[in-house]
Chain A
Amino acid sequence: MAKPRVLHCITVYNGRAFVPRAISSALRMDQSVADIDVLILDDASPEPGWSEELKAFCEAEGALYYLTPRNLGIPRNVTLGLKTALECGYDYVTINNSDVIFPRNLVTGMIEALTKNDNVGSVTAWSNNVSIYSVPNEDPDLHLADQSVVDWVSEVADKTFGGTVLDIPAGISFCIMMPISAVRTVGFMDPVYGRGYCEETDWSLRSLEMGLRLCLAPGVFVYHQGRGSNLDAGLVSAGHTTVPENEAIIDMRYPLFRAQVEAFFQADVMTWHRGKLIHELMDIAAQRDGLQIDLGWLSTLSDDKVTLHAEPQGDSTLLKLSRLGFTQSYATPTVDASKAITNRFGDCRVSIDVHDACSLHEELALAYKVTPKDLSCGYPSRV
């Protein structure tokens, strides 16, 4: 049986600093499940020489390149991708921003999410920056803007949630996949949204009205620089995050939408999923890279290991895990802190740094048979 065909569209407007990175990551995606054509839709980027440079880059790397004769704006440029996929016989289409890094498993994970679940009209990838569904990260541009990191986070996401979907109030077209049947049913982006913003919300809500589910695929993780492409496109100005006149159209057309978003917040489905992913990331990273236990009030983050910062607070101890900008915090009774750490990270390679002496460091030194490094200053490290 022939593999399904995917048209992977990346909309581009300027973005010399980040577009080649996005294209390279798209071209190395796993094609074991589907044949992927990467189509770059350059919306008449005005930056001098950039379109020629981009065309040459695409030709050299193996991506399809299309230059619009004049600027269309995001909604119509996206429509071009959807319509091309529809008319050229593709089975799936993905619409993507250009300030992203795709994981290797993106298309396999998205197709799995679409095929394992009934009646899904679109799946949005998970990310550090995907509106209200984001996985928080302390400094995504520092920690996540790296292909190997994105691949790893997405692999862990796949192991944790692969094939599952979460119903969400609206899709986000920074990285969204639609089966072509959904495009045929719902149609294209509405040009009433001008240069863009909210057009995918409109598409999403139309698809919902037509009985299709809107889903997030927590099994794939895409790094999204965020606002890079929108700022470049002059869509939003610095300090603004949206286009008010487009939101007004959404409010007029879909008066229940804000209440639906609020209900989604109240249901709080994201908290568990975020916590679960970060928990798995910490466990796997600690096994792979080792664990640096940092005892005391002032912590220093390890560059290459999971940092477990244990901060005694009287009867309870706050444990804060950090790796690649992801953090997980939880309190445990101080008497059980050592046990809580060894139960979870018993097999890991461990180093212990002591900033403030406490009973924990002796227990942990004994449990892990390591000599703690004394970094204390001889008095409490914080005021």
Chain B
Amino acid sequence: MAKPSRPTTTTAKLAAKPTLKAEKPAARPRLTPATVQTTVDAISLAQALRDVETANARVIDLTRRLTTMSQEVLDLRAQLSRGAVGRAGDHGVARDLFEARAEIAALRLQLGN
């Protein structure tokens, strides 16, 4: 599998605890009708960039987990079909034994003992 080219896409980064507590953004001016559009636009853009980065990391993480789990499903299916074949064989032996015992019982009846 191709290694992710950006460090932010690693699982370790994704699982890292949020660091919001340490974040201290520079104080923005008080919202006014005149400044609200530009102020919130800037906040929105910054967050959108983070969202995109996280979304990319999530896609890569989910793809990795999906492919791993798909492989596991295939392996388990193969094991299951091998088991089913084995059980079918066992079932055949048991049926043979049952039929042999029935034949012996019938012969005994015929011989009167």
Interface size on B, residues (CB 8 A): 25
Check B27 for interface membership: any CB of A closer than 8 A.
Answer: yes
Q: Which one of B6-14, B28-36, B75-83 is at the interface?
A: B28-36
A184-B23 CB under 8 A given contacts A67-B37, A89-B28, A192-B58 = yes
- State whether B51 touches A191 (Cβ < 8 A): yes
Check A87 for interface membership: any CB of B closer than 8 A.
Answer: yes
Check A66 for interface membership: any CB of B closer than 8 A.
Answer: yes
- State whether B31 touches A88 (Cβ < 8 A): yes
Of B20, B31, B54, the contact of A84 (CB 8 Å cutoff): B31
Q: Which residues of A contact B48 (CB under 8 A)?
A: 76
Q: Which residue on B lies nearest to A181, using beta carbons?
A: B21
- State whether A87 touches B55 (Cβ < 8 A): no
Q: Which residue on B lies nearest to A59, using beta carbons?
A: B33
Rounded to whole Å, the gap between the CB of A127 and the closest CB of chain B is 27
A188-B47 CB under 8 A given contacts A66-B37, A87-B25 = yes
Of B25, B31, B41, B47, the contact of A37 (CB 8 Å cutoff): B31
Of A67, A72, A84, A183, the contact of B43 (CB 8 Å cutoff): A84
Q: Which residues of B contact A349 (CB under 8 A)?
A: none
Q: Which residues of B contact A152 (CB under 8 A)?
A: none
Contact string, A70-98, partner B, CB cutoff 8 A, digits 1/0?
Answer: 00100010011001101111000000000
Q: Which residues of B contact A64 (CB under 8 A)?
A: 31-33, 36
- State whether A39 touches B36 (Cβ < 8 A): yes
- State whether A88 touches B47 (Cβ < 8 A): no
- C-alpha spacing A148/B6, complex, angstroms: 57
Check A187 for interface membership: any CB of B closer than 8 A.
Answer: yes
For chain A, the bracket of interface size reads: 20 to 34
Q: Which residue on A lies nearest to B58, using beta carbons?
A: A192
Check B40 for interface membership: any CB of A closer than 8 A.
Answer: yes
Of B23, B27, B30, B33, the contact of A65 (CB 8 Å cutoff): B33
Of A58, A66, A69, A76, the contact of B47 (CB 8 Å cutoff): A76
Of B20, B21, B36, B58, the contact of A66 (CB 8 Å cutoff): B36
Rounded to whole Å, the gap between the CB of A246 and the closest CB of chain B is 15
Check B63 for interface membership: any CB of A closer than 8 A.
Answer: no
Rounded to whole Å, the gap between the CB of A80 and the closest CB of chain B is 6
- C-alpha spacing A192/B55, complex, angstroms: 8
Check B112 for interface membership: any CB of A closer than 8 A.
Answer: no
Q: Which residues of A contact B32 (CB under 8 A)?
A: 64
Check B44 for interface membership: any CB of A closer than 8 A.
Answer: yes
Q: Which residue on A lies nearest to B22, using beta carbons?
A: A184
Contact string, B53-97, partner A, CB cutoff 8 A, digits 1/0?
Answer: 011001000000000000000000000000000000000000000
- State whether A84 touches B21 (Cβ < 8 A): no
- State whether A88 touches B28 (Cβ < 8 A): yes
Q: Which residues of B contact A84 (CB under 8 A)?
A: 31, 39-40, 43
- C-alpha spacing A69/B27, complex, angstroms: 24
Q: Which residue on A lies nearest to B26, using beta carbons?
A: A87
Cβ-closest 7 pairs across A and B: A66-B40, A64-B36, A88-B28, A87-B25, A187-B18, A87-B28, A83-B43
Pull 27 A–B residue pairs with CB atoms less than 8 Å apart, ordered by A. Answer: A37-B31, A39-B31, A39-B36, A65-B33, A65-B36, A76-B47, A76-B48, A79-B47, A80-B44, A80-B47, A83-B47, A84-B31, A84-B39, A84-B43, A87-B25, A87-B27, A88-B28, A88-B29, A89-B30, A183-B20, A184-B21, A184-B23, A185-B20, A185-B21, A186-B20, A188-B47, A191-B51
In addition to A39-B36, A80-B43, 4 A-B residue pairs with Cβ atoms within 8 Å of each other are A87-B28, A88-B30, A89-B30, A185-B21
